Amino acid sequence: MPSEIRALFAMVARPEVVSLAGGAPYVSALPLDVVGDMIGDLVANRGAEALQYGSAQGDVVLRERICDVMALEGITASADDVVVTVGAQQALDLVTKIFVDPGDVVLAEAPSYVGALGTFASYQADVVHVPLDEGGLIPAALRETLDRLTREGRRVKFLYTVPNFQNPSGVTLTTARRAQILEICAAYDVLVIEDNPYGLLGFDGEPTRAMRADDSERVIYLGSFSKTIASGLRVGWALAPHAVRAKLVLAAESAVLCHPALSQVAVREYLTTQPWREQIKSFRELYRSRRDAMLDALDALMPDGCTWTRPGGGFFVWLTLPEGLDAKAMAPRAIAERVAYVPGTGFYADGGGRRNMRLSYCFPEPDRIREGVRRLAGVIESEIRM
Ligand code: PMP
């Protein structure tokens, strides 16, 4: 089935519509001329490598640089356990391909990243949701769900979680809960897929310690340069226990032979020669000011009865409408009023999320965000009066 997000994108392309729907990073904030020169030099001077096939596991120097990036979240890893992928999305696909047989259970937060739900569906997994709140996935609910599934004799292959600034809710898993969730997953012998594209985009303080930093055997960590460098390069990775890594390389080989060499050497060169930590800092400032614009506008303008999350990083706010309203039914009326959002139902495999919507602040300028929230508040107000 086509995802609701894709269908929506076709409608919101008109310039008069303020789109709070898309999750595209603001790549124009990169020094594009510098990156352009860097890539031009790579082709001119090292084209025989940059335009050639490579290994299915990915460039070894790039994998070492990736380990430096993960060290910022407390991870100690060997480049030998990293597999470069075509975005984190391909890593998700390969992991699911390896582990999931039709009918197997995959646990996922409610709500959960729509792209992951699509991948799980494509391998005929049975997605069972576990609720989250402001502190992320709820450990007691995870334990209850695993108890029930065990009693029913179901095979649970893994728990899929986005612990930092989750897509779509914007919430972050607390440190205490990370430890509890690892403990529960160990007790039930369930793998954890830690999908972490937003971890370095926190607005306050140091990055949170990754779950993978505390359990290298149970956690498969997925990373991405889509939000910290550029999504169009399509460079992501998986860090997996050794035996899983070997399977991932085989699966990658049959899927794409090898990852695009030009993208890999571009990222390798960028991480070696450019001030990437400073660049990530400036992305953080950019997104923080957009988050502030959105939260200020929501505080000032949203009608009573609406609630929303207050993300400490990343791209998304998750809004809950008052009882009786339906975000999906309201979407065409919002587009007629020139504002777009993603209805919550796309982030559930079980029909949940009718009163929810995802609002992104990553792409529009702050003034457009305020205008979008103003239009949206007007639409919600008129729905309440109806
Ligand atoms: N996981 C999550 C939680 C995401 O939000 C995204 C991108 N929107 C991805 C994975 C895929 O990212 P990539 O561009 O690295 O394929």
- Cα end-to-end span (Å), the chain: 32
Distance of CA 235 to the CA centre of its chain: 14
Q: 361 burial class (0-12, 13-18, 19+ CB within 10 angstroms)? A: buried
Q: Are strands 18-19 and 156-161 parallel, antiparallel or unpaired?
A: unpaired
What's the gap in Å between 87 CA and the centre of ligand 1?
7
Distance of CA 237 to the CA centre of its chain: 13
pLDDT at 12: 74
pLDDT at 305: 96
3-state SS assignment for residue 331: helix
pLDDT at 287: 97
Query: Does ligand 1 come within 6 angstroms of the Cβ of 115?
Result: yes
Query: Does ligand 1 come within 6 angstroms of the Cβ of 88?
Result: yes
Query: Does ligand 1 come within 6 angstroms of the Cβ of 89?
Result: yes
Q: Are strands 339-340 and 316-320 parallel, antiparallel or unpaired?
A: unpaired
What's the gap in Å between 339 CA and the centre of ligand 1?
24
Query: Does ligand 1 come within 6 angstroms of the Cβ of 313?
Result: no
pLDDT at 154: 95
- 233-257: pLDDT as tens digits: 999 999 999 999 999 999 999 999 9
Query: Does ligand 1 come within 6 angstroms of the Cβ of 167?
Result: yes
Only one residue has tokens 């594209």, namely: 197
- The alpha-helical segments, DSSP class H, found in the chain are 4-12, 32-50, 60-71, 87-99, 114-122, 139-151, 175-187, 242-256, 261-273, 276-301, 327-336, 366-385
Query: Does ligand 1 come within 6 angstroms of the Cβ of 162?
Result: yes
pTM of the model: 0.96
Atom of ligand 1 nearest to the CA of 92: 10
How far are the Cα atoms of 180, 322, 326, 357, 381 from residue 305, in angstroms, in the given order?
A: 33, 5, 13, 14, 10
What's the gap in Å between 88 CA and the centre of ligand 1?
6
Atom of ligand 1 nearest to the CA of 23: 8
- 294-310: pLDDT as tens digits: 999 999 999 999 999 99
Low-confidence spans in the chain with pLDDT less than 50: none
Query: Does ligand 1 come within 6 angstroms of the Cβ of 87?
Result: yes
Radius of gyration (Cα) for the chain, nearest Å? 21
Query: To test ligand 1's pocket by mutation, which of 66, 224, 259 has the most ligand atoms within 8 angstroms of CB?
Result: 224
Residue nearest to atom 5 of ligand 1 (CA): 167
What's the gap in Å between 305 CA and the centre of ligand 1?
31
Determine what percent of the chain falls in helix, strand and coil, rounding each to the nearest 5.
50, 15, 35
pLDDT at 33: 93
Specify which residues 110 forms β-bridges with.
131
What's the gap in Å between 89 CA and the centre of ligand 1?
6
pLDDT at 186: 97
pLDDT at 386: 83
Query: Does ligand 1 come within 6 angstroms of the Cβ of 113?
Result: yes
- Return contacts of 149-152, CB within 8 angstroms, 24+ apart: 149/105, 150/188
Specify which residues 137 forms β-bridges with.
132
**Backbone angle region of 170, left / alpha / beta, with phi > 0 → left and psi within -120 to 50 → alpha:** left
CA distance 30 to 321: 36
pLDDT at 7: 65
Distance of CA 253 to the CA centre of its chain: 24
- Residue 319 and residue 301 in contact, taking contact as beta carbons nearer than 8 Å: no
CA distance 236 to 69: 12
What's the gap in Å between 195 CA and the centre of ligand 1?
8
What's the gap in Å between 324 CA and the centre of ligand 1?
32
pLDDT at 2: 63
**Backbone angle region of 165, left / alpha / beta, with phi > 0 → left and psi within -120 to 50 → alpha:** left
